[in-house]
Amino acid sequence: MFTKTLKTAALALLLMSSAAVARDGIYFNAVKGDAEHAYNEMINNKIEDIGFVLSDPHERINDAYATKYSEEPGFNKSLDNLGFFSVGNDELLNELLSKEPRLGGFSPFNLHIYKYANEDVTRVGHVNPEVMLDIVGATDKDVREKFIASFKPLDALVDAEIGGKREAVSFDKLPAKTLMEFELEFDRSDDLSEFIDSFQEEFEAAFEENKYIIAGYKNYKEAFADLEMPFPKYDAYFVYSLCHFYFSYGLFNHGSAQAGAFAPCSMYMYVEKGKNVLHIGMPYLENWIAAAAITDTKQIASIRALDKEIISIMDGLGAKLK
């Protein structure tokens, strides 16, 4: 288990280097007891009131771990609750994605909930939006200000409905490369959907063959059309949520449940108006090591192996790493 308060993290970093400046990677509301009911009430019935939309909820993943891996040597039911609930502010994203398409790396993002079995504390939180922006390389001042500001009502809602004390997982710096980006050129016909449908079929099959789960999918182009919001910059824009279940089990059920705030991984794909290039991007899992304070050497190795595997799968689909 790993949870650092800001004070503890800052002290540790100060002892290591006087030049190091601690940053919040993830922050949580930590409340005594089992807050699952309060969380479900909030996420299902109140989050839309502040402009956020819930998509592809995955509750009590810990139960699936117990069912699937209970026969594994050394299995330990370490979690009472682990949930991934993908949310996003669609109205704001309609504006911001037009300026900064790489925001799809955290759109939607996980409003994470977890509780360890040996601790009577539930934690609810998310990746720091400033860190999200840094990971995807968003530098536009207006984009950054509006994106960060959109989290204030969300955090206020969590304070009101969950309560507890604010905790943060702190870190020193992100890796040198934070975002994997790919490009795939294609022969464009009058009907773009032919290419999109064919690629999506190949993409999903390739990842599922490598034991990944398509944990979610959001077609922002269609969602904005349904909301009668203009989105003219792109002919296509959609986001996949990817999960490798055994990999996640190896982290979240083995003391690093805080890193679940980064899961499932959002991989965005878009085609600009009239163009014949599919742009694809996803934050490197390497970011988790720093921002989620992963120290276990086996977990670090699995994170780096998955980054390499994802790049290899994308290369097999013809997408070239930039």
In the chain, how many domains are there? 1
pLDDT at position 16 is 38
Close Cβ partners of 23 (under 8 Å, ≥ 6 residues apart) = 128, 130, 131, 170, 171, 172, 173
Domain range for residue 139?
6-321
Read off the DSSP letter of residue 292: T
> In terms of pTM, does the model score above 0.85?
yes
Q: Cα 14 vs. chain centroid, distance in angstroms?
A: 29
Q: Closest by alpha carbon to 258, among 24, 6, 27?
A: 27
DSSP output for 91-105: HHHHHHHHH-GGGGG
134 belongs to a structural domain: yes
207 belongs to a structural domain: yes
48 belongs to a structural domain: yes
Encoding tokens for residue 49?
């009131």
Distance of alpha carbon 124 from alpha carbon 188, whole angstroms: 45
Q: Are strands 109-110 and 212-219 parallel, antiparallel or unpaired?
A: unpaired
* Cβ contact 13:290 at 8 Å: no
Distance of alpha carbon 133 from alpha carbon 157, whole angstroms: 22
Q: For residue range 167-210, what is the model confidence (pLDDT) as tens digits? A: 999 999 999 999 999 999 999 998 999 999 999 999 999 999 99
Encoding tokens for residue 185?
């050129």
pLDDT at position 21 is 67
Q: What is the dihedral of CA 233, 141, 262, 203, to 10 degrees?
A: 20
CATH of the domain at 146: 3.30.310.70
263 belongs to a structural domain: yes
Q: How far, CA to CA in Å, does 1 sit from each of 66, 119, 173, 276? A: 18, 10, 21, 47
230 belongs to a structural domain: yes
Distance of alpha carbon 55 from alpha carbon 24, whole angstroms: 26
Average pLDDT, the chain: 93
1 belongs to a structural domain: no
User: pLDDT truncated to tens, each residue of the chain (322 aa)?
Assistant: 444 443 444 334 333 333 456 899 999 999 999 999 999 999 999 999 999 999 999 999 999 999 999 998 888 999 999 999 999 999 999 999 999 999 999 999 999 999 999 999 999 999 999 999 999 999 999 999 999 999 999 999 999 999 999 999 999 999 999 999 999 999 999 899 999 999 999 999 999 999 999 999 999 999 999 999 999 999 999 999 999 999 999 999 999 999 999 999 999 999 999 999 999 999 999 999 999 999 999 999 999 999 999 999 999 999 999 9
Q: Closest by alpha carbon to 131, among 179, 93, 181?
A: 179
10 belongs to a structural domain: yes
